């Protein structure tokens, strides 16, 4: 009697599992193409903001450089990310480096940092963060123009000692009530710029040789 009910119940549950799994598989199959496309578009939009389409003529998403693991660690690049190269007529016009500022107020701040071959910034954007709404989230372009302040800055202007927030004697504004967040972003942008200035020739060479092998 007990055995019969166990058998019957497990059969019903198994049937349920099969049907529900089938439903999910079907939905997954029919939405997957759109999801991949949406993810691609979202990634592309961020890249386009730093290097507008008028400045380059290649496919930013697929034109990438892969760095050795130690350099990725040095740059704090998230796993599975690569440096994107923007080129115009085959010549690199900007490198877009995904990176993470780890010393924010709460959690990692994911950044995209675009650098021109001459070492000046093409632009910086925040991809994701968990900073306090209303205070630290002014690093988002939608909330404040602060992040645009990096445009065209380089290690020469301002000089290295001035790559801090004003509270620390530097050149960059902090927000009222939030110093830690901008400090973290400024710091990470500086680190990436420093990396770039030492590895510039390497990166350029690698990008150029990639460009030749590509049609």
Q: Which residue ranges make up the site for other proteins (CB under 8 A)?
A: 5, 8-9, 12-13, 16-17, 20, 23-24, 27-28, 31, 34-35, 38-39, 41-42, 132-135
- Check residue 155 and report its DSSP letter: S
Helix (H, G, I), strand (E, B) or coil at 121: strand
Q: Around Cβ 127, how many Cβ atoms within 10 Å? A: 16
Q: Considering beta carbons, is residue 92 or 98 the nearer one to other proteins?
A: 98
Least distance from C-beta 113 to other proteins, angstroms? 21
What are φ and ψ of residue 77, in 5° steps? -75, 135
Q: Considering beta carbons, is residue 10 or 66 the nearer one to other proteins?
A: 10
Least distance from C-beta 35 to other proteins, angstroms? 5
Q: Which residues of 12-28 are buried (b: 16+ CB within 10 A; e: fewer)?
A: eeeeeeeeeeeeeeeee
Least distance from C-beta 38 to other proteins, angstroms? 4
Q: Considering beta carbons, is residue 119 or 133 the nearer one to other proteins?
A: 133
Joined tokens for residue 41: 């578009």
Least distance from C-beta 98 to other proteins, angstroms? 16
Q: What length does the chain have?
A: 215
Query: Is 75 within 8 Å of 110 (Cβ atoms)?
Result: no
Least distance from C-beta 132 to other proteins, angstroms? 8
Q: Considering beta carbons, is residue 95 or 175 the nearer one to other proteins?
A: 175
Q: Considering beta carbons, is residue 56 or 125 the nearer one to other proteins?
A: 125
Least distance from C-beta 135 to other proteins, angstroms? 7
CA atoms within 13 A on the CB side of 36: 5
Joined tokens for residue 10: 């497990």
Q: Considering beta carbons, is residue 19 or 148 the nearer one to other proteins?
A: 19
Q: Around Cβ 51, how many Cβ atoms within 10 Å? A: 23
């Amino acid at each position: 009697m007990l055995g019969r009910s166990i058998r019957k119940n497990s059969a019903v549950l198994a049937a349920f599992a099969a049907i529900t799994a089938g439903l999910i598989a079907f939905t997954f199959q029919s939405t997957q193409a759109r999801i991949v496309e949406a993810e691609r578009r979202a990634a592309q939009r961020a890249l386009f903001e730093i290097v507008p389409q008028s400045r380059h003529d290649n496919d930013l998403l697929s034109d990438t450089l892969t760095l050795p693991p130690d350099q990725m660690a040095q740059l704090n690049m998230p796993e599975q990310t690569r440096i994107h190269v923007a080129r115009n007529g085959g010549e690199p016009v900007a490198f877009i480096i995904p990176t993470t500022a780890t010393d924010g107020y709460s959690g990692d701040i994911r950044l995209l940092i675009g650098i021109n071959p001459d070492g000046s910034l093409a632009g910086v954007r925040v991809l994701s963060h968990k900073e306090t709404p209303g205070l630290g989230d002014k690093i988002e372009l939608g909330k404040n123009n602060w992040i645009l302040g990096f445009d065209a800055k380089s290690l020469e202007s301002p000089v290295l000692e001035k790559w801090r927030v004003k509270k620390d004697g530097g050149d960059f504004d902090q927000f009222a009530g939030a110093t830690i967040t901008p400090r973290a972003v400024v710091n990470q942008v500086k680190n990436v710029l420093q990396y770039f200035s030492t590895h510039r020739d390497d990166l350029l060479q690698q990008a150029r040789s990639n460009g030749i092998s590509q049609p």
